[in-house]
Structure 1
Amino acid sequence: MLQEEYIVSAPGKAILHGEHAVVHGKVALAVSLNLRTYLHLQPNSAGKVTINLPNIYTFLSWDVSSLQALIPDGTGDLKSTSEPDPEFIQKLRDFAGLADQSTDTRNLAVLAFLYVYLSVFSSSRALPSVTMSVWSELPTGAGLGSSAAYSVCLSAALLSARGAVTCPSFGTGHTARWEEEELELINKWAFQGEKIIHGNPSGVDNAVGTWGGVLRYHAGKIKPLRSVPVLRILLTNTKIPRSTKVLVAGVRDKIDKFPAIMKPVLESIDAISCTCERNLIKMASEATPEHYTVLEELIDINQHHLNVIGVGHPSLDALCQATLAHGLHSKLTGAGGGGCAITLLRPDTDCSVVQKSVEELQDCGYDCWETSIGAPGVLLHSPSSLKDGVLQILNSY
């Protein structure tokens, strides 16, 4: 039986620069959002495994004895992960009554939990009775890394419960971070969860959820940037649905049709990412108004480039025009074609300016959050550290 309770959280993610160009070998900068997913894992004395996911209206419970028969053969080495076994996945689908090849968010969240839970405890041959409750500030399906934040929380909590990573000390604070080697193990198992949900993910989203801050992604290699500033932003969801697959294919078609035009645009987007990276590193020691001006100019240039390669949308044009009327600079983040955008806020941006911008965007039917980028990655929380509202939600299920 589980002896301790664990409260963990992980951030969402946005792309600061380099979306679409990264598919063609260019540099992208992924950043953590200070909108977080929270997970509470606690002992269950009823011999049950219970999961409560109120954001997606999912509440399920199984007897531990029924799950025992599903335990896969484990090597005992949690550091050595392999591709998820399709037969095992199908076994889990059949057990939970999940439709084959379902892309439903609820089904995939349940499947990811069962896979990571059973895999992590496979070598012990003894499954703990637990209740897991998850609540998120992140909207699902918006390209903001909600599934990765869930997978990172799942991995951190279950590995901690298994004793595969140590429980870090809170010291004088109310949150704690794992050591680098343990973060690598958490990220590895979070990536397994992402594979269950997305099939063939890049690994960027779960890496952002694990390490936080700003990550440089290039040619499949992920490098966290050290000592970068936390930046205020306005995050806006236009709520316009889009298909990432279709948008990526459209960009590829344009490159094939107009290589002499499109390839220099991709090179320019790459240069934007690299220039922004250097600027952020300089800002870590001293952030001046001039540094913020550079960030704003890069945002404007990149947004124009993204329109050129065909991933803009009238909703995003309206958003950029509305914020620019108040002296604020915006760009799409992610796949484009609708979806979400980020607006940079300087440290001295007046609250009234932000409020007027939010009101205008909400009048367009958009959702807005004032938040920040560069937030810490996965955290272990003491119960007293969470806002009363979050803890109340987690404890009410």
Structure 2
Amino acid sequence: MSAFGPGKIILLGEHGVVYGHAALAGAISRGVRASAEPSTQPGLELPDDLSEGQQDALERAFAVAAKKSKHPKVSVHVSSDLPLSMGLGSSGALSVAIARVMLEAKAGKAPTPKDVEALAFAMEKEFHGTPSGCDHTTSARGTLVLFQKGKAIEVKSPRPLKVLVALVGPRSSTKTTVGALRERQKRWPKRYRRVFEHINALVGEGVQAVKKGDLESLGDVMNMNQGLLSALGLTSTPIDEMVYTLRAHGALGAKLTGAGGDGGAVIGLFAEPEPAVVKLRAQGIECFASQLAGPRAL
């Protein structure tokens, strides 16, 4: 048996979600697949491309999954086409894929979405300590969602909502970037609160734009969100250069996605992203397209 957990992007509202504000997040076409074979006891084949720290975290998370799913007798293998540590929800996707296959192996039937989310969240705590819940919830739902304080509501679009995801390069850990922002926020709370409130308002405007199929308005909201993320000190020269590159290739809006900092991923909203993907790959830029919502969504 096998199960898939899609990665995710945050279209609007990253970082604010940590402080209880809303975020608009969508599942993407790339992700993690977990497959299970009968075994004498629960086991996990570790991928070869993980660091020692990543392997340790994965082993801890799998131990939690095995215990909470009542030790199904399967050996689990995972494969992924999702870049690690790029702000694309790799650990959330991994947690959802493993949760699905472990629960099905024990019960002999497909698990409920509620059970998958609960087990995946327990695994995410091993990866991140106090995760917001946005990553694994978006992955488990497999759609575009408005996420706030542990609750997610699907957001539908009458038009295809397509993005180009471009990889900028290695970045500092999410914990480091979030921690540095938290320290600045503690030092000047009123100033930073105002910025988060502005971002939260943009999320609301972005949701309305999605519902109306107004891609131009959504792109403008994304550009404004990027400006506020820059004001929060979450961008860098490589990120800014990629933002301007995507806009130069026709993006209606472009911004970092995820923690940001000194690397990670940048997303651009396109009516049709495929031509830009071809041009950017010809320049040596690693990128791919994905549809988040609307007719024929992936």
**Aligned residues: percent identity?**
28
Is the contact between residue 151 and residue 190 of structure 1 (CA under 8 Å) also seen in structure 2?
A: yes
Which residue is 1:242 aligned to?
Answer: 172
1:332 matched to 2:256? The reply is: yes
- Aligned equivalent of 2:38, options 43, 54, 62: 43
- 1:243 and 1:135, CA in 2 relative to 1: closer, same or farther beyond 3 A? closer
The alpha-carbon deviation at position 215 of structure 1 amounts to 2.2
- 1:114 and 1:260, CA in 2 relative to 1: closer, same or farther beyond 3 A? closer
Which residue is 1:33 aligned to?
Answer: 28
Which residue is 1:295 aligned to?
Answer: 218
Which residue is 1:66 aligned to?
Answer: none
1:200 counterpart letter in structure 2: T
Which residue is 2:234 aligned to?
Answer: 311
Superposition map of 1:323-362 within 5 A: 323-328=246-251, 329-337=253-261, 338-347=263-272, 351=275, 353-360=276-283, 362=284
CA–CA separation in structure 1 for the residues paired with 2:192 and 2:107: 51
1:215 matched to 2:145? The reply is: yes
- Aligned equivalent of 2:126, options 190, 193, 196: 196
Q: Which has the greater radius of gyration? A: 1
1:333 counterpart letter in structure 2: T
Aligned length: 291
Is the contact between residue 37 and residue 150 of structure 1 (CA under 8 Å) also seen in structure 2?
A: yes
CA–CA separation in structure 1 for the residues paired with 2:34 and 2:231: 41
- Is the partner of 2:169 in helix, strand or coil? coil
State TM-score, norm by structure 2.
0.87
The alpha-carbon deviation at position 254 of structure 1 amounts to 4.5
Q: What does the per-residue CA deviation read over 1:356-387, in whole Å, with 9 as the maximum and x for residues that have no partner? A: 23334x3xxx5322223349xxxxxxxxxxxx
Q: What does the per-residue CA deviation read over 1:32-74, in whole Å, with 9 as the maximum and x for residues that have no partner? A: 1111211111224xx465533435369xxxxxxxxxxxxxxxx
CA–CA separation in structure 2 for the residues paired with 1:221 and 1:194: 13
Which residue is 1:394 aligned to?
Answer: none
CA–CA separation in structure 1 for the residues paired with 2:248 and 2:279: 10
- Is the partner of 2:120 in helix, strand or coil? helix
1:224 matched to 2:121? The reply is: no
Which residue is 1:65 aligned to?
Answer: none
1:134 matched to 2:78? The reply is: yes
Which residue is 2:17 aligned to?
Answer: 22
Is the contact between residue 96 and residue 116 of structure 2 (CA under 8 Å) also seen in structure 1?
A: yes
Q: What does the per-residue CA deviation read over 1:86-137, in whole Å, with 9 as the maximum and x for residues that have no partner? A: xxxxxxxxxxxxxxxxx71112212222331233225xxxx52x23221011
The alpha-carbon deviation at position 264 of structure 1 amounts to 3.3
- Aligned equivalent of 1:147, options 86, 91, 102: 91
Which residue is 2:204 aligned to?
Answer: 274
Q: How big is the alpha-carbon RMSD for the aligned residues of Structure 1 and Structure 2?
A: 2.6
Is the contact between residue 36 and residue 76 of structure 2 (CA under 8 Å) also seen in structure 1?
A: yes
- Is the partner of 1:344 in helix, strand or coil? strand
- Aligned equivalent of 1:160, options 99, 104, 108: 104
1:295 counterpart letter in structure 2: L
The alpha-carbon deviation at position 160 of structure 1 amounts to 1.1
- Is the partner of 1:56 in helix, strand or coil? coil
Which residue is 2:288 aligned to?
Answer: 369
Is the contact between residue 33 and residue 374 of structure 1 (CA under 8 Å) also seen in structure 2?
A: no
